[in-house]
């Protein structure tokens, strides 16, 4: 049952008119009956003995009102029938009703897949008990998380598990090339790389499926820290830096020569955090599949190397920017800040101590060797940058030395001279 407040405005208007007419008819009837009674007592019968009442204006008005009332009643019945018919159609086609909801915005595109193609299922890289059918994905509710010109990301709940579904667009490869690349990416197994759960290749529809990470990204963690909503201690920063370096190093050790697939899009928002706040590199394996002319690829941002190439040197540069963000507490994303340029300017002016965020400044000299590593990573010329293996070895050595030595002693003067020479070389 619906209360009056939930009735359709047209129905409420018609009911109001019917009520007014009913009252009007009731009053008119009462007046006419009263006059008829008076005429009966005051008028004499005619010569033939029959009574012939004269027609009155009130009786004519009564007839008109009754006709209008019947007409309005007919309109009301018609509107009710139309409303009920539409309601029954919605109940008979609940999937269509769901597709119009923002909750299932992903399904609108996916259900365009031809029915005869739906037998093609997902390709999984996980155990049998964690698998599901393509139909389960098409019928599940989906929350849109983000989208751009080249992709959309959804959160999908299936079998009481949350998944992140990446819907790719603007690919310039064949289905066979896409499947070959995903087969290689799906075999990568490292604790600091977000594993690919499954993929789907349905004509123009390319889907990548991952486990959803409730802790969010390194970007969201940094934003909460800057807003004063949480702590971000230096130990956690160092742990995250080492984890990212380990993941990137594994990528370049997993392939050889021309088989290497660079990441191409390392930034804070693509570093997710697991339940223990350990870093997971996401968005890996498809940057080289995008159209080279697309705005999605190597767009101008603070993480992209000057040469703008998909390579290990490009990923090293991006990692160096993230390391600078962890050391300075400043974020590149959406700020327009050229962080490497700002840091180098500070070093040239010998204001190196002013570079560090308060959490790094608390622990003394460990910041200087880490800053030195990051400056080498963001060298302007690709040939001057270290490999990821060299970066990992240096960072891990700095962290181990600091943790094993409670005093954390190092020479700020020596570190300062190294930083200055790096900055001058980039001049």
Joined together, the tokens standing for residue 135 give 């139909």
Cβ count near 109 (within 10 Å): 14
Whole-number pLDDT of residue 251: 94
Provide the percentage of residues in the chain whose pLDDT is more than 90: 46
More confidently predicted of 114 and 152: 152
Whole-number pLDDT of residue 254: 86
Tens digits of residue pLDDT in 228-279: 999 999 999 999 999 999 999 999 998 766 688 999 999 999 999 999 999 9
Tens digits of residue pLDDT in 35-65: 544 554 444 444 444 445 555 555 666 666 6
Whole-number pLDDT of residue 61: 61
Whole-number pLDDT of residue 408: 46
Residue ranges per structural domain of the chain: 1-26+59-92, 121-211, 218-426
Range in 82-91, 95-104, 204-213, 310-319 the model is least confident about: 95-104
Tens digits of residue pLDDT in 124-162: 999 988 899 988 988 888 999 988 878 899 999 998 899
Q: Region 20-31: what's the mean pLDDT?
A: 54
**In sequence order, what are the residues at sequence separation of 6 or more whose Cβ sits closer than 8 angstroms to the Cβ of residue 405?**
none
Joined together, the tokens standing for residue 379 give 């060298």
Whole-number pLDDT of residue 9: 56
Q: Region 8-26: what's the mean pLDDT?
A: 57
Cβ distance 275 to 254 under 8 Å?
no
Whole-number pLDDT of residue 409: 47
Output helix, strand, coil percentages for the chain, rounded to the nearest 5. Answer: 55, 10, 35
Whole-number pLDDT of residue 36: 46
Tens digits of residue pLDDT in 323-343: 999 999 999 987 889 999 999
Q: Region 306-316: what's the mean pLDDT?
A: 94
pLDDT at 167 over 70: yes
| Dihedral angle computed from the Cα positions of residues 302, 308, 312 and 318, in that order, rounded to the nearest 10 degrees | 0
pLDDT at 194 over 60: yes
**In sequence order, what are the residues at sequence separation of 6 or more whose Cβ sits closer than 8 angstroms to the Cβ of residue 154?**
105, 106, 142, 143, 144, 145, 164, 165, 167
pLDDT at 296 over 50: yes
Q: Where are the alpha helices (DSSP H) in 278-362?
A: 312-328, 339-348, 358-361
Phi first, then psi: what are they for 155, rounded to 5°?
A: -105, 120
If you average pLDDT over each of 8-12, 133-137, 169-173, 381-385, which comes out highest?
381-385
Residue 266 and residue 357: Cα distance in Å, rounded? 22
Average pLDDT, the chain: 78
More confidently predicted of 167 and 115: 167
Joined together, the tokens standing for residue 321 give 């920017």
Residue 331 and residue 195: Cα distance in Å, rounded? 26
HSE at residue 348, side-chain half, CA atoms within 13 A, is: 11
Tens digits of residue pLDDT in 397-425: 988 887 776 444 444 434 444 554 555 45
Whole-number pLDDT of residue 379: 97
Cβ distance 70 to 21 under 8 Å?
no
pLDDT tier for residue 368 given thresholds of 50, 70 and 90: very high
Residue 261 and residue 288: Cα distance in Å, rounded? 7
Q: Region 369-387: what's the mean pLDDT?
A: 96
The strand ranges marked E within 33-160 are 123-124, 142-147, 151-158
CATH architecture of 121-211: 2-Layer Sandwich (3.30)
Q: What is the DSSP letter of 193?
A: B
Residue 402 and residue 409: Cα distance in Å, rounded? 8
More confidently predicted of 292 and 423: 292
Cβ distance 157 to 141 under 8 Å?
yes
* Helix, coil or strand: residue 118: coil
Domain 218-426 matching CATH 1.10.510.10: the answer reads yes
Provide the percentage of residues in the chain whose pLDDT is more than 70: 64
């Amino acid at each position: 049952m619906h209360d009056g407040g939930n009735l359709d405005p047209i129905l409420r208007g018609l009911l109001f008119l019917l009520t007014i007419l009913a009252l009007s008819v009731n009053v008119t009837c009462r007046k006419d009956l009263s006059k008829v009674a008076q005429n009966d007592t005051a008028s004499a019968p005619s010569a033939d003995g029959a009574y012939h009442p004269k027609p009155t204006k009130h009786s004519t008005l009564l007839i008109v009102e009754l006709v209008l009332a019947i007409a309005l009643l007919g309109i009301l019945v018609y509107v009710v029938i139309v409303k009920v018919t539409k309601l029954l159609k919605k109940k008979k086609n609940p999937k269509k009703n769901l597709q119009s909801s923002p909750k299932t915005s992903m399904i609108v595109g996916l259900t365009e897949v031809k029915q005869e193609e739906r037998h093609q299922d997902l390709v999984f890289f996980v155990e049998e008990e964690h698998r599901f059918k393509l139909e389960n994905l098409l019928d599940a509710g989906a929350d849109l998380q983000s989208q751009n010109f080249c992709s959309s990301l959804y959160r999908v709940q299936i079998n009481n598990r949350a998944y992140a579904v990446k819907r790719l667009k603007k690919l310039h490869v064949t289905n066979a090339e896409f499947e070959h690349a995903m087969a290689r990416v799906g075999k990568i197994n490292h604790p600091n790389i977000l594993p690919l759960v499954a993929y789907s290749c349905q004509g123009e529809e390319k889907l990548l499926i991952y486990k959803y990470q409730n802790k969010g990204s390194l970007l969201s963690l940094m934003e909460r820290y800057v807003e004063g909503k949480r702590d971000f201690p230096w130990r956690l920063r160092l742990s995250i830096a080492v984890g990212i370096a380990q993941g990137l190093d594994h990528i370049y050790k997993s392939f050889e020569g021309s088989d290497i697939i660079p990441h191409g899009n390392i930034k804070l928002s693509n570093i997710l955090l697991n339940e223990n706040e350990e870093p997971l590199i996401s968005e890996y394996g498809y940057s080289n599949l995008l159209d080279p002319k697309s705005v999605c690829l190597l767009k101008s941002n603070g993480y992209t190397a000057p040469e703008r190439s998909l390579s290990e040197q490009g990923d090293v540069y991006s990692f160096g920017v993230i390391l600078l963000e962890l050391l300075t507490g400043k974020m590149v994303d959406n700020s327009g800040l050229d962080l490497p340029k700002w840091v180098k300017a500070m070093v040239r002016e010998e204001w190196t101590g002013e570079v560090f965020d308060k959490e790094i400044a608390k622990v003394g000299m460990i910041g200087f060797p880490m800053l030195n590593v990051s400056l080498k990573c963001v060298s302007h010329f690709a040939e001057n940058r270290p490999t990821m293996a060299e970066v990992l070895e240096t960072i891990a050595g700095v962290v181990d030395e600091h943790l094993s030595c409670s005093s954390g002693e190092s020479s700020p003067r020596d570190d300062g001279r190294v930083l200055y020479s790096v900055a001058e070389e980039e001049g």
